[in-house]
Amino acid sequence: MKFKVPIFSVKNLSFIVRGQKILSNISLEIFNSEYVAIIGPNGGGKTTLIRMLLGLEEPTSGEIKLYGKNIKDFKFWDKIGYVPQRASHVDASFPATVQDIVNMGRTSKRGFFSRMNEKDKEAVHDSMVKMGVLHLKDKMVGTLSGGQRQRVMIARALASKPEILILDEPNTGVDILSQKNFYALLAKLNKEERITIVFITHDIGVIADDIGRLFTVNQKAIICNNPKEALSCEEMSELYGIEAHLIHNHKHEH
C-alpha cells in the first residue's frame, strides 16, 4: 500500500500576538483531492491559519509541512492558487484589463520578464472560460461588478493550473444565482479535475453536500469528518457558537 503524504500537515500550531492567543494548538492534515471547508466566527483565526499554511505569516510555535516538506524548504508555490479575502476590492481606476489580471496567474510559471508563450495563453483562456469571464477580457477590472471581479480573481488563481485552490470567503456580496453556479463549478473542479479545494465560507449549508470535511476554527480547530452528520456538527458548533445547524435545515428544505 502506498503511503499517502498529506498536502498540508500542521502540528501543534499556535499564534500569539502581544500576549493574545489567536490560534492555539492546531493540528490538521489536508490530503490530495479533498474538498475541505473552514468555518468559524469573525476573528476566529481562519484567515490567519491560511496565511500560515502559505508561509505569509510565521507561527509562534508548531510545525507546518507541505507535501511532506518543512514549509521553509518548500519551493513549489505555483501548485497553490490562493484567492485572499477581499482580493477583488480594486479601485475603479486600477489600470488593468481582465486579461492583464488573469495573465498575472502565469507570472510565477514563466518568470516576470519573459513573454507569454502558447501554453500560457491557453491556460489564461481556459481559466477565463471556466469562470465565465472571457467576454469581459478587454474591460478594465475596476469597472466590473463585485461578483464579476471575484470570478476574475479566481480565474487568475486557476491560470497557474494549481493542484490546490484556497479561497477565503470569495462570495461576499455575490447574488444567489451566481453563488449557486460558483459552488457547482467548485464541485466540478474538485470531482473532475481532482483539484484540492480549501474553502473558507460562512455559507456552509449550501455546500454541505459537496464537501468532504469541515473544519471549525475558533482559536482552536475542530475537525468534522462527516459534515452531513448534522448532529455531530451541531454539537461541535454549539461548543463554538457557529450556526452549523444550517446544514441540518438545508437538508430538510428538499
Ligand X SMILES: Nc1ncnc2c1ncn2[C@@H]1O[C@H](COP(=O)(O)OP(=O)(O)OP(=O)(O)O)[C@@H](O)[C@H]1O
Which residue, 40 or 59, is less far from ligand X as judged by CB? 40
Q: Which stretch binds ligand X (CB under 6 A): 40-48, 89-97, 104-112, 150-158?
A: 40-48
Which residue, 17 or 239, is less far from ligand X as judged by CB? 17
Residue 179 CB, nearest approach to Mg ion (Å): 18
Q: Which does 187 bind (CB under 5 to 8 A by kind): Mg ion, ligand X, none?
A: none
Q: What string of DSSP letters covers 175-210?
A: -HHHHHHHHHHHHHHHHHS--EEEEE-S-HHHHTTT
Q: Which does 225 bind (CB under 5 to 8 A by kind): ligand X, Mg ion, none?
A: none
Question: How far is residue 119's CA from residue 122's CA, in Å, rounded to a whole number?
Answer: 5
Angle (CA) 212-174-87 rounded to 5° is: 80
Strands 69-70 and 80-83: unpaired
Q: Tell which one of 17, 56, 129, 184 touches ligand X (CB under 6 A).
A: 17
Q: Say whether residue 24 binds ligand X (CB under 6 A).
A: no
Q: Helix, strand, coil % (nearest 5) of the chain?
A: 40, 25, 35
Instruction: Return the residues of window 75-134 that contact ligand X according to CB under 6 A.
Output: 85
252: DSSP letter: H
Q: Tell which one of 14, 21, 22, 209 touches ligand X (CB under 6 A).
A: 22
Q: What string of DSSP letters covers 107-175?
A: HHHH-TTSPP-HHHHHHHHHHHHHTT-GGGTTSBGGGS-HHHHHHHHHHHHHHT--SEEEEESTTTT--
Residue 252 CB, nearest approach to Mg ion (Å): 29
Q: What phi and psi, each to the nearest 5 degrees, are found at residue 71?
A: -55, -30
Q: Tell which one of 12, 16, 43, 180 touches ligand X (CB under 6 A).
A: 43
Q: Tell which one of 36, 37, 44, 155 touches ligand X (CB under 6 A).
A: 44
Residue 17 CB, nearest approach to ligand X (Å): 4
Which residue, 143 or 172, is less far from Mg ion as judged by CB? 172
Which residue, 48 or 97, is less far from ligand X as judged by CB? 48
Question: How far is residue 171's CA from residue 186's CA, in Å, rounded to a whole number?
Answer: 12
Q: Which stretch binds ligand X (CB under 6 A): 42-50, 93-101, 228-236, 245-253?
A: 42-50
Q: Say whether residue 47 binds ligand X (CB under 6 A).
A: yes
Q: Say if CB 97 and CB 138 are below 8 A apart.
A: yes
Which secondary structure element, helix H or strand E, spans residue 23, and what is its range? Answer: strand 20-30
Binding site for Mg ion (CB under 5 A): 46-47, 85
Q: At a CB cut-off of 8 Å and minimum separation 6, what does 42 contact? A: none
Residue 97 CB, nearest approach to ligand X (Å): 29
Interacting residue ranges for ligand X, rule: CB under 6 A: 17, 22, 40, 42-48, 85
